A = this chain, B = another copy of it.
Amino acid sequence: MRQNFTLLLLLITGILSAQNNDSLIIKSLYTEALSKTQGYYWLEELCKKAPKRLSGSEGAAKAVDLVYQQLKEINYGTVYKQDVMVPHWVRGEKESAFMISGKENVPLSVCALGRSCGTSPQGLKANVIEVKDFDELTKLGDKVKGKIVFYNHEMESDFYNTFQAYGRAVRYRWAGANRASLQGAVGVIVRSVTLAYDDFPHTGAMADYDTVPPIPACAISTMGAKKLSDALKKNKDLQIIYKSSCKTLPDAPSHNVIAEIKGSEFPEEILVVGGHLDAWDTGDGAHDDGAGVVQGMQVINLFKALNIKPKRTIRCVAFMNEENGGKGGAEYAKQSKDKGEKNIAAIESDGGGDTPQGFSFEGDSALATKLFAYKNLFAPYGMHDWRIGHSGSDIEHMKDHGTMLVGLIPDSQRYFDYHHAASDTFDKVNKRELELGSASMAALVYLFSEYGVK
């Protein structure tokens, strides 16, 4: 009896101490991230030295070299670049838009949408017709012929998760030009998809032109949208002159940047972690997605700092071209598949550097639900929101590879205030919030590396 009891005690102690070890290691990851904030310093450097890093640009090339160098300096595992051809859209000269009001031209704050064509050098001069949504557009029929369609669709404020509101509003940016062109419109102005009321236009990708005549499309700031809407109420015949020299050049060579620590026990099982390196040419791309890139880099760095030897292989990937093509994510998935690699899990951070609240799992949902058992280990760090849902655009290319896809969920209240705008700058990122995300990703990678994902 006594012996059995002792055995049982040993067994229980063993289990408890394994759990305890995990929680201690996780605590150390958070402590290291919050006290050294290395990701924050990397982000500062990235924003300062390689802002405006849209695919194919000089900024993107600088970002590739910089992140490669930063990863090299960690001095843990191997670092390499993976070639990928990317779309190369350029903004050209800064756009301008004016309301023609009597003898006065009143400026509007606009910026071309990614993939849009430009105007003639003289600019596009036309009447403007405002619609709230596609229903209104459809009803107008050929009344929009020869006119600029102004989609003044407000992003809805009453979702707690602002990504839900984004999903519903972004369709006008994405499909607005094609839909309007189909009805004979000559241009499109789209209200910025943001909950902020300010004078920053928010760019972003639109769909490639369908079989319709290509027409120029731009975003307008929310203040600009109000100004324009108010002016249209007073004068239905209001004209606008819009100039843009944006265009699409031939595809250009670029790279994903990858750092890898080989697993000690199961090196063939790969854990991918990262974000995307490209960013719109309007700002620093601090939240979108410099934050995700440095959080992924921090996983490697935190493992090094705590001298953790992962049992499974860890790959930090800084993906190129998420914003207007997704070629980096696709190329990584393709090459990996061609080599017969086994990416057992992939974790992406592409929702900004604000306080993380949890993880979103995409893939085998029965299996994901089992992984929710880890939730308790993250409770001391506010990571309460574990759910089935969207993971990340770059890793989704591995959807059919049997990979468990995971997205970090940050607080989304402020994200769209800066998203794709000139206001997405380094000063908008808080070092603690950013590093809580780094540590959360490192902790999940640690658990996956120790125990796999099954």
What chain B residues lie within 8 Å of A384 (beta carbons)? 384-385
CA distance A137 to B436 in the complex (A): 34
The distance from the CB of A194 to the nearest CB of chain B, in whole angstroms, is 12
Copies in the complex: 2
Which B-chain residue is minimally distant from A382 (CB atoms)? B160
Stretch in A28-36, A71-79, A119-127 with 4+ CB within 8 Å of B: A28-36
Flag whether A22 is at the interface (Cβ < 8 A).
no
CA distance A304 to B411 in the complex (A): 30
- A414 and B436 in contact, given A158-B34, A158-B35, A384-B384 (Cβ under 8 angstroms): no
Flag whether A432 is at the interface (Cβ < 8 A).
yes
B30 engages A158 (CB within 8 Å): yes
The distance from the CB of A197 to the nearest CB of chain B, in whole angstroms, is 9
CA distance A382 to B414 in the complex (A): 15
B160 engages A381 (CB within 8 Å): yes
The distance from the CB of A441 to the nearest CB of chain B, in whole angstroms, is 16
What chain B residues lie within 8 Å of A30 (beta carbons)? 158, 160
Chain A residue total in the interface (Cβ 8 A): 24
CA distance A31 to B418 in the complex (A): 22
Flag whether A157 is at the interface (Cβ < 8 A).
yes
The distance from the CB of A413 to the nearest CB of chain B, in whole angstroms, is 4
Q: Which of B35, B157, B160, B382 makes the CB contact (< 8 A) with A357?
A: B382
A157 engages B35 (CB within 8 Å): yes
- A157 and B34 in contact, given A355-B411, A411-B355 (Cβ under 8 angstroms): yes
The distance from the CB of A85 to the nearest CB of chain B, in whole angstroms, is 40
CA distance A362 to B355 in the complex (A): 26
Which B-chain residue is minimally distant from A27 (CB atoms)? B158
The 4 closest A-B pairs by CB, nearest first: A384-B384, A31-B158, A413-B432, A34-B157
Instruction: Give 11 CB contacts A-B under 8 Å.
Output: A34-B157, A162-B432, A195-B432, A355-B355, A382-B385, A384-B384, A384-B385, A413-B433, A414-B430, A414-B432, A414-B433
